[in-house]
Amino acid sequence: MAVAATMVLRHFGLSIFLGQVAIASGRPFFDTVASQGPAVLLAGVTLVAVVLLVGHDVLRIRSDDLLGAGATGNPAILAGANRMLGNGRPDVGYAIVFPTMTIAKIIAVQLMLG
């Protein structure tokens, strides 16, 4: 079979699979977000606020490093901080904080569920 035909079939099969997963999980996902979304959003905002306040006021970390870290390791926050500051320091903060915040988010979710 030609490589192009194999790729078309592979992508078509993957599209069908993803479509079925989306159809099957759409309503339960919406119900979960509607019932637990505000609590999760509040917990996330609280976590970010605590990290930024402790980082800036207690640990005396520069604000451009904290913006790069974004307190969440979010690439969109990193892009915004790079555009706003233009000095490359947010990239360093992102690289330092991303692994730690990923682990912290996993632990925070487990504590919220427990």
Residue 67 burial (C-beta neighbours within 10 Å; 0-12, 13-18, 19+): buried
DSSP secondary structure string, 33-44? HHHHHHHHHHHH
Mind listing the pLDDT tens digit for each residue in 31-67? 888 898 898 889 888 877 887 788 889 988 877 677 6
Domain ranges of the chain: 3-113
Alpha-carbon dihedral angle through residues 30, 42, 45, 47, given to the nearest 10 degrees: -110
pTM for the predicted model, two decimal places: 0.47
